[in-house]
A and B are shown apart, each in its own frame.
Chain A
Amino acid sequence: MSPLTPLYLLGLLAVSAPLIFHLIRRSPKGEVWFSSLMFLSPSPPRLTRRSRLDNLLLLLLRAAALCLLAFAFARPFIRTAAAVDRESSAQRRIAVLLDTSASMRRSGIWQRALDEVSAVIDSARPGDEIALFAFDSSLRTVLGFKELVQLPPEQHAAVIRQRLASQSPTWGATNLDNALIDVVSSVNDTVDSSEESAHRLRRVVLISDLQVGSRLDELGAYEWPRDVDLELKTIVGDEANAGLQLLADPQEFAEADAEPEMRIRVGNDPGSPNERFLLRWVDADEDARESRQQSANGDAELNPPVEVYVPPGESRVIRVPYPPEFLASPTLQLTGDRHDFDNTLYVAAKEKEEFEVYYLGPDAAEDITGLQYFLASAFYDTPRRSVQVVAKSLNEELDWPAENPPRLVVVSAETTPANQEKLRQYANAGGTVVFVLTKAGESATLAKLAGVPKAESFPGAVGDYALMTNITFDHPLFMALASPQFNDFTKIHFWQYREFDAEQLQLAAGEPSDNATDDSAAADTVRVVSKFDTGDPAIIEKRIGDGYLIVFTAGWHPADSQLARSTKFVPIVAAMLDRGGSAEIDSATYVVSQRVPLPVADEDLDWSVVTPAGDELAIASEESHFAQADAPGMYKFQATNPTQGVAAQRIFAVNLDPAESRTAVLPVETLEQLRVRVANREVDDGDLERRRQMRDVELESEQKIWRWLVLAAVIVLVAETWLAGRKSTTVSAADEEN
């Protein structure tokens, strides 16, 4: 028999109270203040022999009543067979979660992980359900609980071992948070067939190197269920790894003639014994590497290794020159650490972009009063980009190669109907046409471009000058100038402009349109981007097919305005250039398993991606992203014309997640801080104790021995009352007789 609330047994001390009362018969009635005690001497309480002998039974009864009450409050219960520790006999539902991230590629780690899985399978008791999951950046079910139910129990272990053999470490990142959440929900979501299985102990066994680079963000917002434990089987490797990470390319903003270099972050593990590393460009293409093996000494001069010192636990950002041009497929190799899996950084040499901007206007390139002069001055070259303004005369027939159309066409006067049609098609295909109204009157070119019957403008009513107001700063043209320090346009005076009603660009209902798609959302296609302070539109944009028509009602040349000479001009022109630009593959920013955005595909061409392994994966034309980048390396995105062969190609690099290089072991406390219930920890002892207590409460509430004890106490008290009453009556009777 055990007490549920043993502290109440202290109530047994109360037994001493009746003893004391029985001993002291004449207790002082109170206290009396007296002037002096000098004539008084203490008179000790007198005890009589009679009091001890006669009331012994009464004393015993009173003590017994108190003892019974104390025992009743202690709520005793008898541990029966039902209270056998369930921990030892209960069946368990175990989800084994195996880390297959890139960091598991370190030497020896993977084999030890497989051994751990085998150990878990071996330690399984009959009736246990063991499922196997693998994860890197996503979770894969190797053998799920649902499938397990359909298998005969004796085959479980064999099937798991068989499927385990097919697992191998991937190149993915360690998204531990999502993997844990998904596994826990799959452990909990499994429908229990019987009452017994509903009470199974649930446990997730994580077999991982538990590296610091694991993602845990989602766990912070996740409430870990109370009945699922996480058992950690951490495979501790040596912390001697260093990793590479390519940082943002500084060349975007560099001068065109600047020495090209890139910024690389080199990180070192806290426990690493090494701190000196070498970075060196090598050729990813092994054939090319071998062929140049002989000229290695010559390489050393052309391709000197970069030495970097990184103290353990820290990281350094260094600048590395661009790969030498003789390398066909350059990769940056790190040497000096113990693990090779993350020592290669793939860098896609970004091709220099060359754009053409066509200018159709009467003015010459060197005419400092003309539009073209300022337009050409506004474009600047960077190491990554060069823009060339091509002037075309108004009557010359426009022509450009289909695969390389101009990025922007600026028209400042009337041109031939053939050119009008060509520009219209160009805009429909996604090009950007800027039309500058330099003269008032009817403009057939503008009408044709906008696809409206008539476009007429009048000289604007300008006093001394007009100002640009009502600028739509959320429009891409002005977005760069939206900040308060840039959005002051009051210094830019417009001397003249053409009053043009933006409504004219709007196709009236019922009017014939040469483009069926215009009808559907005609109202939304015209947008006044900015106005003059007189209320007339200054810049109007109309969407035409996939492209844009941008109408300036005043030119930027000095005759019309101060716009070209203001600081706002260059950003506006740059925004015009990018207005129709499609999504670009940006090199070196992708990691394994990341979705790579694809350029807008032309339906006539077959698009495919060539992986580093040499496989060619066809891309459906409606795909906007490439999601199968599951290994680091150089990927080639190419368009193939069935008749002409490869029409275009772009190369992008996919690298290992830099977090994978951080292989130091994550402290278990970090998981506990995220309220993950880690098994076999001190916390668990408290939990066991709590469970035991709960079982005790249950047993006690079933047995309710306290009721019987209280009943016994009441009976004893009744007997005591009766006895005391009888005694007092006999004493008083005796007194009367005396």
Chain B
Amino acid sequence: MATVSRFRNSQAASRDPSVDSRGAMIDPHTLMRIKSLQLRARKVMEGFFAGIHRSPYHGFSVEFSEYREYSPGDDLRYLDWKLFARTDRYYVKQFEDETNLRCTVLLDTSKSMSYGSGDFSKHEYARTAAATIAYFLTMQRDAVGLVTFEDKVVEYLPPRNRPGHMRRIMAELSREPAGKATDLAGPLEEVAATVRKRGLIVIISDLLASPELLSTRLGYLRSCGHDVVVFRVLDPREVKFDFENAAIFRDVESGKELYVDAEVAKANYHRRFEKHAQELESACQDLGVDFHSMTTDEPLEFVLFELLRARMRRGRDQGRRNARQRTA
């Protein structure tokens, strides 16, 4: 638990602008200058470790869960003899699932992701995040898979933990996307149908789509027993909409043109954007999906923080659920 509290502190400190802990983090602008995706991922992870000052390596998965009364047929190896000595009752020790984590990263490579107001696009940021997650989990001996999608699944690498798999993921991530329209619904359905074994599913996308459709598909995933974490990557300009002049706005995906007087349209934009974001968030909350929104000017280490936090919460929730069942 000590590790978890350290996480929390560190994460809270880094999010708080008054506490300057960014010295340890890497500025995304600097990071994106590194060409190799794997190198980027390693740098992010190093920064992440520097932030928490302690390796989370011996993580959360090998943890005692509960005692259960022995019933004939249970494996005698798990009898707690010391407890038997104290209480004269047979109890069997139960642990958290000892198997490795199976994580599938879903990366949106649609055309809207290619938008970027600064030096790099949302896609660049997103794939670095994906690489970081993949690298991090691989280092933990967990199996990592990758799904890239646009309006349908482009590439599917099933979760593996074997030599060379990391390189394949990196190669896949390094590939420049063809870039088409975003349609989250189709790919999520496909993933729900393909990834049968329960595991962690990390979705990295700008989620510029209808929240209703999204919530239905996320529901599919959840119902399959997957843990789902959604990272929403946005450009700062998409959040702020700090345009001033009237201009023809052109959609990068559809090429549609719209004459917009930015000053006039700004308020309306903010209102709609916030509403959309709230709908997304509430939909995720209802489904028990971790939802994190981030802009491309934020350090990438947060991705790992959020991921770990989500995992921790999942573990905690699981423990509570078990306790409730026991008491019941």
The yes or no answer to A38 lying at the interface (CB within 8 A) is yes
Cβ-based interface call for B248 (8 A): yes
CA distance A725 to B245 in the complex (A): 26
**Which residues from B are CB-within-8-Å of A34?**
115, 249-252
In the assembled complex, A108 has its CB within 8 A of some CB on chain B? no
Check B245–A43 contact: CB distance below 8 A. Answer: no
A286 located at the interface, meaning its Cβ lies under 8 Å from any Cβ of chain B in the complex = no
- Contact (Cβ within 8 A) B208 A32: no
Query: Is B96 an interface residue when CB atoms closer than 8 A count as contact?
Result: no
Binds A, one of B166-174, B217-225, B262-270: B262-270
Q: In the complex, are the beta carbons of B251 and A43 less than 8 A apart?
A: no
Complex interface: stretch among B37-45, B187-195, B253-261, B305-313: B253-261
Chain A residues near B (Cβ < 8 Å): 26, 28-46
In the complex, are the beta carbons of A28 and B247 less than 8 A apart?
yes
Residues A39 and B273 in contact, CB atoms below 8 Å apart:
yes
B259 touches A35 (CB 8 A): no
A35 to B250, CA, bound (A): 8
Chain B residues whose CB sits within 8 angstroms of the CB of A32 once the complex forms? 243, 247-250
Contact of A42 among B122, B238, B253, B258 (CB under 8 A): B258
Please give 11 more A-B residue pairs, beta carbons under 8 A apart, in addition to A32-B250, A35-B122.
A26-B261, A31-B249, A31-B250, A33-B115, A34-B252, A36-B112, A40-B249, A40-B265, A42-B260, A43-B259, A43-B264
Q: What's the Cα separation between A46 and B252 when bound, in Å?
A: 26
* Closest Cβ–Cβ distance, residue A206 to chain B (whole Å): 73
Cα-based distance from A44 to B248 in the complex (angstroms): 11
Please count how many residues in chain B sit with their CB below 8 Å of the partner chain's CB atoms: 32
Task: Report A142 CB to chain B, min CB distance, Å.
Answer: 85
In the complex, what distance in Å separates the CA atom of A39 from the CA atom of B276?
Answer: 9
Could you tell me the distance in whole angstroms from the C-beta of A407 to the nearest C-beta in chain B?
107
B272 on interface, CB distance cutoff 8 Å: yes
Interface-centre pick from B206, B257, B258 (highest chain A CB count, 10 A): B258
Kindly report which residue of chain B lies nearest to residue A29, judged by CB atoms.
B245
| CB pair B246 A29 closer than 8 Å | yes
A733 to chain B, nearest CB (A): 26
Segment 234-249 of B: residues with Cβ below 8 Å from A: 235, 238, 243, 245-249
Contact B265 A33 (CB under 8 A): no
Which chain A residue lies CB-closest to B241? A39
Question: Contact at A37–B258, with CB atoms within 8 Å?
Answer: yes
Contact B248–A45 (Cβ < 8 Å): no
* Structural contact, A44 and B259, CB atoms closer than 8 A: yes
Q: Bound state CA distance, A29 and B259, in angstroms?
A: 11
B113 nearest in chain A by CB position: A35
The reply to whether A43 and B256 form a contact with Cβ atoms under 8 Å apart is no
Q: Which residues of B (194-246) have their CB < 8 Å from a CB of A?
A: 206, 208, 235, 238, 243, 245-246
A33: chain B residues within 8 A (beta carbon): 115, 249-250, 252
Which residue of chain A lies nearest to B268 when distances are taken between CB atoms in the complex? A41
Beta-carbon contact of B258 and A28 below 8 Å = no
Contact for B247 among A30, A35, A37, A39, CB less than 8 A: A30
- Alpha-carbon distance between A43 and B249 when the two chains are bound, in angstroms: 11
> Which A residues lie within 8 Å of B261 (CB)?
26, 43, 45-46
Contact of A35 with B265 in the complex, beta carbons under 8 Å: no
Report whether A35 and B238 are in contact in the complex, using a CB–CB cutoff of 8 Å: yes
Most buried by B among A26, A31, A36, A46: A36
Contact B247 A40 (CB under 8 A): no
CB-CB nearest in chain B for A38: B208
Q: B259 and A45: CB pair below 8 A?
A: yes
In the complex, are the beta carbons of B253 and A36 less than 8 A apart? yes
Contact A35–B248 (Cβ < 8 Å): no
**Cβ distance B178 to chain A, nearest Cβ, rounded Å:** 17
Query: Cβ of A45: which chain B residues have Cβ within 8 Å of it?
Result: 246, 259, 261
Chain B residue nearest to A30 in the complex (CB): B247
Query: Known contacts A32-B249, A43-B246, A43-B261; is A37 also within 8 Å of B256 by CB?
Result: yes
Cα–Cα, bound, A400→B21 (Å): 153
Find out whether the CB atom of A28 lies under 8 angstroms from the CB atom of B246: yes
> B244 to nearest A CB, angstroms?
10
Q: Which residue from chain A places its CB closest to the CB of B116 in the assembled complex?
A: A35
B315 to chain A minimum Cβ distance, whole angstroms, is: 36
Q: Evaluate contact between B248 and A39: CB separation under 8 angstroms.
A: no
Whole-angstrom distance from the CB of B155 to the nearest CB of chain A?
22
Q: Known A28-B247, A30-B248, A35-B115; judge A40-B260 contact (CB<8 A).
A: yes
User: Considering the chains assembled together, what is the distance between the CA atoms of A38 and B247 in angstroms?
Assistant: 16
Residues of B close to A29: CB separation below 8 A: 245-247
In the assembled complex, the Cα of A32 lies from the Cα of B117 at a distance in Å of 11
- Contact indicator A39/B256 (Cβ below 8 Å): no
How far apart are the CA atoms of A695 and B269 in the complex, in Å? 69
The distance in angstroms between the C-alpha atoms of A33 and B259, with both chains bound, is: 12
A42 and B246 CA atoms in complex are apart in Å by: 11
Top 3 A-B pairs, shortest CB-CB distance? A35-B115, A31-B248, A43-B261
Are B235 and A35 interface neighbours, CB within 8 A? yes
Q: A26-B246, A32-B243 are in contact. Are A39 and B269 (CB under 8 A)?
A: yes
How far, in whole Å, are A36 and B255 apart by their CA atoms in the complex?
A: 10
- Which single residue of chain A is at the shortest CB-CB distance from B115? A35
Closest to B121 in A: A35
Tell me how far the C-beta of A47 lies from the nearest C-beta in chain B, rounded to whole angstroms: 13
10 residue pairs bridging A and B, Cβ less than 8 Å apart: A29-B246, A31-B247, A33-B249, A35-B251, A37-B249, A37-B254, A38-B208, A40-B265, A42-B259, A43-B259
Q: Are B246 and A35 in contact (CB under 8 A)?
A: no
Complex: chain B residue closest to A46, CB-CB: B261
Distance in angstroms between the alpha carbons of A414 and B276 in the assembled complex: 144
What residues of chain B lie closer than 8 Å to A43, measured between beta carbons? 246, 259-261, 264-265
Contact with A along B257-301 (1 / 0, CB 8 A): 111110011001100110010000000000000000000000000
| Bound-complex Cα distance A42 to B224 (A) | 42
Q: How far is the CB of B183 from chain A (nearest CB, A)?
A: 13
In this complex, what residue of B is CB-closest to A34? Answer: B249
Q: Which of the residues B208, B243, B268 comes within 8 Å of A36, measured between beta carbons? A: B208
Chain A residues within 8 Å of B245, by CB: 29-30
In whole angstroms, what is the CA distance A236 to B301 when docked? 109
B272 proximity list for chain A (CB < 8 A): 38-39
Cβ of A38: which chain B residues have Cβ within 8 Å of it? Answer: 208, 272, 276
Q: What chain B residues lie within 8 Å of A36 (beta carbons)?
A: 112, 208, 251-253
CB-nearest residue of chain A to B206: A35
Nearest residue (CB) in B for A36 is: B208
Name B89-137 residues within 8 Å CB distance of A: 112-113, 115, 122
A28 touching B248, Cβ below 8 Å: yes
Enumerate chain A residues within 8 angstroms of B257, measured Cβ to Cβ: 31
A489 vs B235: C-alpha distance in the bound complex, in angstroms?
109
- Tell me, in angstroms, the Cα distance from A709 to B42 when the chains sit together: 78
List chain A residues, Cβ under 8 A from B206: 35
For B264, what are the chain A residues with a Cβ–Cβ distance below 8 Å?
43
In the bound complex, how far is the Cα of B261 from the Cα of A31, in angstroms?
11
Can you name the residue of chain A whose Cβ is closest to the Cβ of B208?
A: A36
Chain B residue with the shortest CB-CB distance to A26: B246
Q: With A and B bound together, what is the CA distance between A40 and B241 in angstroms?
A: 10
User: Shortest Cβ distance from A23 into chain B, in angstroms?
Assistant: 15
Kindly provide the distance from the CB of A20 to the nearest chain B CB, expressed in whole angstroms. 16
> Which chain B residue shows the least CB distance to A35?
B115
The answer for the CA separation of A385 and B208 in the assembled complex, in Å, is 119
- Given A26-B246, A30-B247, CB of A35 within 8 Å of CB of B260: no
Q: How far is the CA of A36 from the CA of B111 in the complex (A)?
A: 10
Cα separation A605 to B112 with both chains bound (whole Å): 123
Question: Which residues of chain A come closer than 8 Å to B115, judged between CB atoms?
Answer: 33-35
Residues of A within 8 Å of B113, CB to CB, are 35
| A30 surroundings in chain B (CB, below 8 A) | 245, 247-248
Highest count of chain B CB atoms <10 Å: which of A26, A29, A37, A42: A37
Q: With A and B bound together, what is the CA distance between A29 and B121 in angstroms? A: 24
Complex CA gap A31/B250 in Å reads 7
Chain A residues whose C-beta falls within 8 Å of the C-beta of B246 in the assembled complex: 26, 28-29, 43, 45
When distances are taken between beta carbons in the complex, the residues of chain B under 8 Å from A31 are 247-250, 257
**Most B CB within 10 A of own CB, among A26, A29, A43:** A43
CA distance A203 to B128 in the complex (A): 94
CA distance A45 to B250 in the complex (A): 17
Q: Are B258 and A40 in contact (CB under 8 A)?
A: yes
